[in-house]
Structure 1
Amino acid sequence: MQVVLSRKKTRRIRFLRFMVRSVLLALILSGLFILGLLSYTRMQGPPPIQVPETTVFYGSDGSVIGEEHGGQNRYWIPFDEVSPFVSQATVSIEDRKFYDHFGFDLWRIGGAIVANIKAGSSAQGASTITQQYARNLYLSHEKTWTRKWNELMYSLRLEMNYSKEEILEGYLNTVYYGHGAYGIEAASGFFFDKSAADLSLAEAAMLAGVPKGPSYYSPVIDYDRAKARQELILSSMVENGYITKDEADTAKAEELIFVQAADADTEIIAPYFQDVVTNQLTSILDVTEDELATAGYHIYTTLDPSMQKVAEHWVDQEMPDTDLQTSLVAIDPRSGGVRAMVGGVDYAESSYNRATQSKREPGSTIKPLLYYEALQHGFTAASTFVSEPTEFTFDEGRQTYSPRNFNQHYANDFITMQQALAVSDNIFAIKTHLFIGPDKLVDIAETLGLGTFKDVPSLALGSQAVSLLDLTNSYVPFANEGLYGEPQFIVKVEDSDGEILYEQEPGLTEALDPVSSFLMTEMMTGMFDPALNGYTSVTGSSVVPLLHRPVAGKSGSTPNDSWMVGFTPQLVTGVWVGHDKGQKLDQYAEGPISKKIWANFTEQALEGQLKLPFHVPQDVVQVEVHPESGLLANESCPGGVPMFFKAGTEPTSACASPEEEKKMEDAKHEKERFIDRFKKWFGGQDDH
């Protein structure tokens, strides 16, 4: 009997020794495993933290004009800029032991395993904030053991390489709050129209409850359910020592005001303009449009939101409810920055940008470039040609060209270049073009970014297609003392950390002679000066009552197009009106629309700004000139208009009345007869 008891005792001792040794071995192996796992995750280094962030477009005044987010509306905000109530509420409801564990909670995992075994599935989760952050960054949301293992590994890597504050910052900026809002900043803006920095305790607790089930706990979907969860979170914050019970009770009683989804969405301002910026940046930064939209860039542009609204207002006001289309571009001549852009009547119906993508024949708006070249080659504002029906020959006499004036109106007499521009005389333009040489217009067009033109007579009447943006920008040197550069849309681009990725350098250089540029500008004021009316009216007479500041410009038309490009010292604006598919314009009903949009926009866009005159360079003189003859006006020949000239090129002969001209002609003939008689008498010649 004693032997049997001794054997049983010996077996129990052996079993206990085995169990102790097994436990010790398991502990050693577990320790080695954990040590190896931690060493492995540490050696792997920090996992890359790259999440889609909303790219934001800013206007010249710093306001937001648009956003791109590729389906995930997110703005990264530093941890110390988030209301502390947000992190306290989130930790209280999602992971109370967040500051004590290494990325996972063994007790929660154990409980979840038991619950899942009982349920026969992996439906129950036990994810910490770190694990959720890892899942948001790198993994799917499928409930499998493989995903759980990978989630654990990423969580360890995060914990081994980042601080708790950095992990919580990442979680708050990546978690989904529903309604397309990713991250606390986007959610705060969506629900409360404010930054996460300004959230109250009640608001923070409400938002902290949403990620558990964005469609289930959203207060704009089911307020009662969301309110119950908010109160649970506030009570949990009291238990964790973050707030007092009185603070929780006050927050529970606070009335929350939610903005509607439509109000929370950022208004898209100038979509045609933003498309141009996006296209340029994909090339400059060498990224795709999707990458640009989700990179979290801050794109600062030249657009003036107030001017853009004025432009859109007058397009809406003046355009008829037909298929007629329009485009508008406004440029600051002092910097080259595009301040406003309209690419069509309705972006929602057509994103085709008629300001940049469409090329049409500019008609008479090309004439200022031609006359600038004429000024450079000996012409003045008082230079004259006869305005009459004319057939021109070119190509060494093999071809003819017979242009016509609008409505077949001709002076049938001499007119000055200033008047010819004001009334848009086509015959004068062709004569000037052929006199100075067609290559001159070709050269200046290329200099001012209009492309390579064909050397033909009709070029003087705008027969080669251009875009509205390029045409408008070609007028910049006239408004800015000869300075020219490519039109600018982007000021700078910063990444989500504030590092500058691209910054536009000033690009204006002297392209035209400042004196001739000013003389050309003064000639372009003539289209608004009734004193230059002659055989027909100046082309800007219909909008003169709308204008109350010094302006210059040129209109133009073709059978299919109506143009107006004009400027002040502060703004150069071009407007085009026409049909997309070549349908002819009604010149009387539809033709004037471009001028009306331009005049109304120019006045309202510059409202409140100084009414600046154009800068007069040195070596420029002003005299009163008779607009038809090009001679100095006087009492005998009234109706003179002020014209500017480079010193030394102004007319010196006075204009005479018809009676005086007859007397002068008779005196000339009498003098010629006296000289003939004197020659005959002195030479002994007879009358035969």
Structure 2
Amino acid sequence: MARAPTRPSSTKSRWRKRLSLAIKLLIVLALIGLGALVTAVYVAKAQLPGFDELKSSPNGQMIRVHAADGTVLVSLGPSYGEWLPFDRIPRVMRDATVAVEDRRFYSHLGVDPIGVARSVQVRLDRGRWVQGGSTITQQLARNVFLTSQKKFGRKFREWILALAMERKFSKEQILELYLNKVYYGGGSYGIDAASRKFFGHDAGDLSLSEAAIIAGLVKAPSNYSPTADAEAAVGRAGVVLRVMEQTGAITPAQAAEADPKAVKLAPEPRQNSVRYFTDWALPQLDLLIDETEKPLDVWTTLDLSMQRAADAAIRANAPRGAQGALVALDRDGSVRAMVGGRDYVSSIYNRATQAVRQPGSAFKLFVYLAALEAGRRPDDVEVDEPVTIAGWSPRNDSRRNSGPVTLRTAFAYSLNTVAAKLGQQVGFATVADMARRFGITTPVNTHPSMVLGTSEARVIDMTRAFASVANKGIAVTPFGITRVVSEGQVIYQHEVDRNHVLVSPFVAAQMTDLLQTAVNTGTGRSAQIGRPVAGKTGTTSATKDGWFLGFSSGLTTGVWMGRDDAKPVAGLHGGTAPARAFAQFMTKAVAKRPVEQFETEVTLPEWQEEPDEESYFGQPDNTVFVDEDGNPVGTSRPQDEFAPDPPGFGIERPVPDYERPQVMPQREPPPQPGEDRLDQEWIDRVTGREPPPPPRRREREAEPEF
């Protein structure tokens, strides 16, 4: 029986045709892809800038910050040294870079297939990208034209640009661009800037060990920076030396002789207190201008002589273990000096603008402003007597009461009972609104004890409030940048707003009257500088914070001292170290300014009234009235019951009696028989004043002066 013939040859022929067709198709696609690649490379080549243009275009934005007199305070952003032509770059620097970054640099076409394959293999072995396989040319293309985004599209553009650069520039030109533009950490671009920063000399004198350290930085500048981690930098330099030996760039003897550990690093430049100011001012550029690439010259308000005086005043007067902060504002709001701590190097935390602390009796500024606006006058009389408000009973530091006193006397000697009564009369919410009106940006509570400064505030905000009083009730807004110049063109110019009236001029003048008295005969006597000064002290419970804020000759200065952990500081009171620092600074700061008299002359308080203890002994104003956390002592009602509703809450709530404004009494009756009076002998002994004639004393006791 005949078997049907098989057709193996025809089947094989069919598969051969298919395979041949596939191969031809792949060849065609490869040719098309190659053609597209070549086209893309030459298009990119045509669009590339010239060599000289690339040399003159820095990476990143450079910012120079000037003081008010034009002195350069600090240069920020990228730092570039001298551009070194290829033949001036030390051979050890060129060899170290090629060895560790791209050992086949002189043989590949811009992209190294072996390096790419190796990086893929490492990716498969470790499950993540560890090596990018980038050549020196690719890195240059990325640094100059692209970002460091790890996406395939960016990588493909990087390959195209690298291939194009290899077509347009020689290997020497590419290496010259790379070594003069690559980032080496610490803000330094290029080997000359890096050499000057880390070693204190130009790159033309780099030794083998120094070159190995710099070459090792490219992989991770922040990790291997010799100033940040010397041990890591030395270890990385050892890797570079071994690779150089393996590639034949140096001999084993040279590798053994090199000692990165023996390299002497240049000392870090000392960062002074100016950086507190620049750290505060420069972030405001994002709101003022849109320019993010061109170099900028930023002109500021800082007065270098005042800044030096402020720094010295804080260092000289801040108690051991305590920090200090100072802000000085001119009458237009320009910040003339700013100190955020005793030492910027040890702590960059700016206590002048970032820290929030209880201001103590310095907060009474807003209590008396509210009372004056409501119709009270400095010579109006209020009775200093025991008072209880919603279960809270403030007492004066002397534990005694003086009976009828003028508001001037009560403010000068920081009588807490009178401040509490004024707060109750105008309404504690009104006092809080006054504080916010004058620029307090932190939350202000409406507890009765708020009149003693239990709400936290920033130094710059409190200084701003006092400056607005000095400015006759017109708002003062702190600013640090006057103009910004880019390539010779002014792109920002500050304009001062002098039209925002906070209180009537006569209210500001009356407040200045009270503030003068506090300095001349009250708690702030240590702040006297031989010319008219108005100001107020503040001391919180357990001497955790000491404040003095005041103004003279158009300059307003706020001083705070205390510990960052809010622990008590022995002997710290507003009328001592802060007031002395204020006086030391202001004496120098206003020395060349004309003496300015205030609109109201100093009126001393009644001779027989009792100053509070801070006036003599520096005791805090509210020691017995709030606990360790600043909460009122003896208040039986829950704290939340005293808190104001959130803005826009939209639901009415019962208003406690102590928040309701009351009718402002203009006169108080004379003291009743048997009322606790002062011991005049004790007053005379402490103050050193001669006792007054008996008839005058009897007359005043019978008919208090209103």
TM-score normalized by the length of structure 2: 0.56
Maintained 8 Å contact 2:532/2:598: no
Greater CA drift, 153-162 or 551-560 = 153-162
Pair 192,615 (structure 1): closer, same or farther in 2 beyond 3 Å: farther
Question: 1 CA distance for matches of 2:314 and 2:575?
Answer: 14
Higher gyration radius (CA): 1
* 1:332 equivalent in structure 2: 329
Residue type matched to 1:562 in 2?
G
Name the aligned partner's letter for residue 307 of structure 2: Q
CA distance in 1, matches of 2:472, 2:68: 24
The separation in 1 between residues aligned to 2:393 and 2:142, in whole angstroms, is 76
Give the CA deviation at 1:601.
1.7
What is the CA-CA distance between 1:489 and the residue it aligns to?
A: 2.9
> In the alignment, which residue of structure 2 is the partner of 1:612?
595
**Alignment correspondent of 2:626:** none
Against the structure 1 CA distance between its residues 475 and 161, is the aligned structure 2 distance closer, same or farther, given a 3 Å change threshold? Answer: farther
Residue 40 in structure 1 maps to residue 19 in structure 2: no
Please tell me whether the aligned partners of residues 333 and 480 of structure 1 are also in contact (alpha carbons under 8 angstroms).
no
Residues 1:370 and 2:354 aligned together: no
Does 1:548 find its partner at 2:530?
yes
Residue 306 of structure 2 aligns with an amino acid whose one-letter code is M
Instruction: Name the counterpart of 1:52.
Output: 60
C-alpha distance in structure 2 between counterparts of 1:373 and 1:311, whole Å: 32
Name 2:462's counterpart in structure 1.
Answer: 471
Is contact 1:419–1:628 with CA below 8 Å preserved after alignment?
Answer: no
Aligned residue type for 1:374: A
1:461 correspondence with 2:452: yes
SS in 1 for 2:580: helix
Change (3 A) 1:55 1:169: farther
Match of 2:309 in 1: 310
Say whether the 8 Å CA contact 2:86–2:175 is kept in structure 1: no
> Residues 559 and 582 of structure 2 are in contact (CA less than 8 Å); yes or no, is this contact kept in structure 1?
yes
Q: Which residue of 1 aligns with 2:114?
A: none
Cα pair 1:481 1:514 within 8 Å, conserved: yes
The 1:521/1:167 distance shift into structure 2, 3 A limit, reads: farther
Deviation at 1:402, TM superposition (A): 1.6
Query: Which AA in structure 1 matches 2:386?
Result: T
- Which residue in 1 is equivalent to 2:629? none
Q: Could you tell me how far apart the structure 2 residues matched to 1:591 and 1:666 are?
A: 34
Alpha-carbon spacing, 1:36–1:372, altered in 2? closer, same or farther (3 Å): closer
Gaps of 5+ in 1: 1-31, 95-107, 113-128, 141-148, 195-202, 217-259, 394-398, 531-537, 631-648, 650-655, 668-688
Q: 2:320 aligns to what?
A: 321
Task: Tell whether the 8 Å contact from 1:564 to 1:575 is kept in structure 2 after alignment.
Answer: yes
1:601 is the counterpart of 2:585: yes
User: Against the structure 1 CA distance between its residues 313 and 92, is the aligned structure 2 distance closer, same or farther, given a 3 Å change threshold?
Assistant: closer
Secondary structure of residue in 1 paired with 2:391: strand
**Residues 112-131 of structure 1: pairs in structure 2 closer than 5 A:** none
2-structure distance, mates of 1:478, 1:584? 31
Letter of the 2:371 counterpart: A
1:365-399 CA distances to partner (integer Å, 9 max, x unpaired)? 12222223333232222111222x31234xxxxx2
Q: Which amino acid aligns with 1:557?
A: T
Is the 1:189–1:264 contact (alpha carbons within 8 Å) kept by the matching residues of 2? Answer: no
Structure 1 184/582 Cα, relative in aligned 2: closer, same or farther at 3 Å? closer
**2:72 corresponds to which of 64, 68, 71:** 64
The SS at the match of 2:315 is helix
Write the deviation string for residues 28-49 of structure 1: whole angstroms up to 9, x where unpaired. xxxx999968852366565996
| 1:88–1:369 CA distance, 2 compared to 1 (3 A) | same
Q: Please name the residue that 1:240 is paired with.
A: none
Residues matched between the structures, number: 503
User: Deviation of residue 577 (structure 1)?
Assistant: 2.0
**Kept in 1: contact 2:109–2:166 (CA 8 A):** no
CA 1:440–1:93 in 2, change beyond 3 Å: closer, same or farther? same
Q: Classify the secondary structure of the residue corresponding to 1:408.
A: coil
RMSD between superposed Cα atoms in Å = 5.7
Structure 2 CA distance for partners of 1:338 and 1:594, relative to 1, 3 Å = same
1:474, distance to aligned residue in structure 2 (A)? 0.8
1:516 aligns with 2:520: no
> Taking structure 1 as reference, are residues 487 and 34 closer, same or farther at Cα in structure 2, changes over 3 Å only?
closer
- Give the Å deviation of 1:475: 0.8
Maintained 8 Å contact 1:310/1:605: yes
3-state SS of 1:566 partner: strand
Compared CA separation, residues 469 and 482, structure 1 to 2 (3 A): same
Q: For the Cα contact (< 8 Å) 1:391–1:400, is it kept in 2?
A: no
Shift of 1:89: 7.0
Aligned to 1:445: 435
Provide closer, same or farther for how the CA distance between residues 456 and 628 of structure 1 changes in structure 2, counting only shifts above 3 A: farther
Cα deviations by residue, 1:160-205 (Å, 9 ceiling, x for unpaired): 999xxx99997796267999742488479759999xxxxxxxx897
Distance 2:485 2:167 in 1: 30
Does the 8 A contact of 1:479 with 1:614 survive in 2? Answer: no
SS at match of 1:406: coil
The residue correspondences of 1:559-638 to structure 2 (distance < 5 A) are: 559=541, 560-587=544-571, 592-606=576-590, 608-614=591-597, 616=599, 627=606
User: In the TM superposition, what is the alpha-carbon distance from 1:419 to its structure 2 partner?
Assistant: 2.0
For residues 265 and 580 of structure 1, do their structure 2 counterparts lie closer, same or farther at Cα, with a shift above 3 Å needed?
closer
Q: Contact conserved, 1:66 with 1:267, CA < 8 A, in 2? A: no
The structural deviation recorded for 1:266 is 6.9
Cα distance 1:151–1:455, how it changes in 2: closer, same or farther (>3 A)? closer
Deviation at 1:568, TM superposition (A): 1.5
What is the aligned partner in structure 2 of residue 379 from structure 1? 376
Identity %: 30
Q: Which SS does the other structure have where 1:372 is aligned?
A: helix
Q: Secondary structure at the match of 1:577?
A: strand
Aligned pair in 2 of structure 1 residues 91, 34: CA closer, same or farther (>3 Å)? farther
Correspondent of 1:430 among 414, 417, 420: 420
**How far apart in 2 are the matches of 1:590 and 1:479?**
20
Structure 1 residue 309: deviation in Å?
2.6
Q: Could you tell me whether the CA contact under 8 Å between 1:131 and 1:155 is conserved in 2? A: yes
Hey, what's the Cα distance between the residues in 2 that align with 1:191 and 1:664? 76
Q: Return the offset for 1:522.
A: 2.9
What amino acid sits opposite 2:144 in the alignment?
A: L
In the alignment, which residue of structure 2 is the partner of 1:4?
Answer: none
Q: d(CA) in 1 for partners of 2:546 and 2:700?
A: 47
- Give the CA deviation at 1:155: 7.5
CA distance in 1, matches of 2:177, 2:63: 18
Structure 1 residues 161 and 76, CA gap change in structure 2 (3 angstroms): farther
- What corresponds to 1:342 in structure 2? 339
The 8 Å contact of residues 463 and 557 in structure 2, kept in 1 or not, is answered as yes
Partner deviation per Cα, 1:589-634 (whole Å, 9 max, x = no partner): 897222222221222333x412421453xxx7x697873699xxxx
Q: TM-score, normalised by structure 1?
A: 0.57
Distance 1:278 1:522 in 2: 37
1:558 equivalent to 2:540? Answer yes
Alpha-carbon distance in 2 for matches of 1:64, 1:664? 62
SS at match of 2:564: coil
Alpha-carbon distance change, 455 to 589 in structure 1, aligned in 2, over 3 angstroms: closer
Q: Kindly tell me: are residues 310 and 448 of structure 1, through their superposed partners in 2, closer, same or farther at Cα, counting changes over 3 Å?
A: same
Preserved CA contact (<8 Å) 1:311 1:328: no
For 1:405-424, list aligned pairs within 5 A: 405-412=396-403, 414-424=404-414
1:553: Cα distance to partner? 0.4
| d(CA) in 1 for partners of 2:378, 2:439 | 26
Contact 1:405–1:425, Cα closer than 8 Å, also in 2: yes
Q: How far, CA to CA, are the matches of 1:454 and 1:267 in structure 2?
A: 38
Structure 1 residues 403, 132: closer, same or farther in 2, change over 3 A?
closer
| Distance in 1, Cα, partners of 2:214 & 2:191 | 16
Letter in 2 for 1:523: L
Deviation readout 1:444-482 (Å, 9 max, x if unpaired): 112112145333432222222212221111111122222
Equivalent residue, structure 1, for 2:236: none
CA drift at 1:92: 13
Counterpart AA for 1:443: D
Question: 1:200: which partner in 2?
Answer: none
